[in-house]
């Protein structure tokens, strides 16, 4: 039985391939300086949840909780942007970091495999913020089916269902934080399953990293900063965080031209997320590159429907299963595993 088969138990209790590993000072002062300069230059950044979730039922499929679509009531001042996608780094000044052999060695060693390929580098950035996420899994990918041709909610349920493990794309992530504060702002994660007690990385988290498999491990960033400033009025799906032109270290949370909050440099919380695809060996790599055993979106929905029928579920197949709210709810009811049930005493859910 391979590692992925062991990960998915009969009760669909998802577990990472190996326990997470933490690191202090993974990036050198020069690398750190270039990363932080690049992040500032690459702004502004859009509100994170509005980029991935359109409706409450999609939120249920991804996060295990219906958080109200894009309504202002659940949007938080946390922002997101890509620095590299699909193996292409957008910024030459950090290209050596994206392809850093040290990071690739960490990913290969974590999985005990021969081959790894860097695929994505993105940043989450915020000042004081509330985090309403109860804990989530990162969006998985499958050979032939990924975020380029399948909705995020469907990929999330594909990962949780256990039906698509033969096509699962193995991944490893190195996640690093820069934040000078100590008022909450840690990282909660559930390495033994979302129904088991969590672990927690506590602040300060300046240049602190964790090596993980986040498609198979529930996790959440914690709220941070002064409580009274964690949810400035006016945050919408159009809100951004942008460098303050009048302050070399400061940032502005804005909706259009309206400034909602001013964030000083020492209040800024940055998370850098490096991602690599993993291959057991060259044969495994060839199977991915040659597309000899790929899924398609149509086949994925057919497999969902076949499994639902085998479970005795009665439903009508919609003409557009990727966007039909009733069908999304049927799949979420069948395959969502819910949010974690145990939280750290000092980092309760919002």
Structural domains of the chain, ranges and CATH numbers in brackets: 3-335 (2.60.120.620)
Specify the pLDDT at position 12. Answer: 54
Q: Which of 64, 217, 228, 38 is nearest to 132 (CA)?
A: 64
Distances (CA, A) of 170 to 82, 184, 217: 20, 32, 13
Strand extents, DSSP E, 183-300: 187-190, 199-201, 208-212, 218-221, 240-243, 251-255, 258-263, 269-279
pLDDT at 68: 52
Q: Strands of 187-190's sheet, edge to edge? A: 199-201, 187-190, 218-221
What CA dihedral angle connects 64, 13, 164 and 291, to 10 degrees? 100
Bridge partners of 88, per DSSP, are: 85
Q: What is the pTM of this model?
A: 0.92
Q: CA torsion sign, 238 to 187 to 65 to 83?
A: positive
pLDDT value of residue 5: 35
Per-position DSSP letters for 194-214, written without gaps between them: TTS--EEEPSP-TTEEEEE-T
Alpha helices in the chain (DSSP H): 3-7, 29-42, 48-52, 56-63, 95-98, 101-111, 152-161, 282-290, 297-310, 325-335
Q: Tens digit of pLDDT per residue, the chain (350 long)? A: 334 333 444 445 699 999 999 999 999 999 999 999 999 999 999 998 888 777 777 877 777 666 554 445 568 899 999 999 999 999 999 999 999 999 999 999 999 999 999 999 999 999 999 988 899 999 999 999 999 999 999 999 999 999 999 999 999 999 999 999 988 999 999 999 999 999 999 999 999 999 999 999 999 999 999 999 999 999 998 999 999 999 999 999 999 999 999 999 999 999 999 999 999 999 999 999 999 999 999 999 999 999 999 999 999 999 999 999 999 999 999 999 988 999 999 898 87
């Amino acid at each position: 039985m391979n590692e992925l088969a062991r990960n998915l138990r009969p009760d669909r209790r998802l577990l990472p391939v190996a326990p997470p590993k933490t690191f202090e000072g993974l990036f050198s002062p020069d690398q750190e300086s270039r990363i932080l300069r690049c992040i500032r230059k690459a702004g502004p950044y859009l509100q994170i949840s509005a980029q991935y979730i359109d409706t409450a039922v999609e939120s249920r499929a991804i996060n295990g909780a219906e958080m109200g679509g894009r309504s202002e009531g659940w949007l938080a001042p946390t922002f997101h942007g890509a620095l590299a996608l699909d193996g292409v780094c957008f910024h030459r000044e950090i290209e050596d970091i994206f392809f850093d052999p040290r990071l690739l060695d960490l990913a290969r060693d974590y999985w005990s495999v021969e081959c790894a390929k860097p695929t994505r580098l993105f940043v989450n950035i915020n000042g004081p913020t509330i985090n309403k996420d109860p804990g989530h899994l990162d969006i998985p990918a499958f050979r032939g089916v990924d975020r380029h041709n399948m909705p995020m909610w469907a990929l999330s349920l594909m990962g949780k269902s256990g039906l698509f493990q033969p096509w699962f794309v193995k991944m490893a992530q190195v996640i690093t934080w820069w934040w000078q504060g100590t008022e909450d702002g840690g990282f909660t994660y559930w390495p033994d399953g979302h129904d088991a007690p969590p672990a927690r990385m506590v602040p300060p988290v300046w240049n602190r990293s964790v090596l993980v498999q986040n498609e198979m491990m529930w996790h959440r960033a914690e709220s941070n900063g002064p409580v009274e400033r964690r949810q400035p009025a006016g945050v919408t799906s159009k809100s951004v965080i942008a460098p303050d032109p009048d302050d070399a270290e400061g940032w502005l949370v804005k909706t259009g031209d309206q400034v909602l909050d001013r964030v000083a440099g020492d209040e800024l919380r940055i998370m850098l997320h490096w991602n690599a695809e993993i291959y057991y060996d060259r044969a495994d790599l060839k199977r991915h590159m040659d597309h000899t055993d790929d899924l398609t979106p149509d086949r994925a929905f057919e497999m969902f429907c076949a499994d639902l029928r085998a479970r005795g579920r009665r439903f009508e197949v919609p003409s557009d299963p990727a966007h039909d709210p009733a069908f999304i709810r049927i799949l979420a009811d069948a395959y969502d595993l819910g949010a974690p049930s145990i939280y750290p005493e000092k980092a309760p859910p919002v």
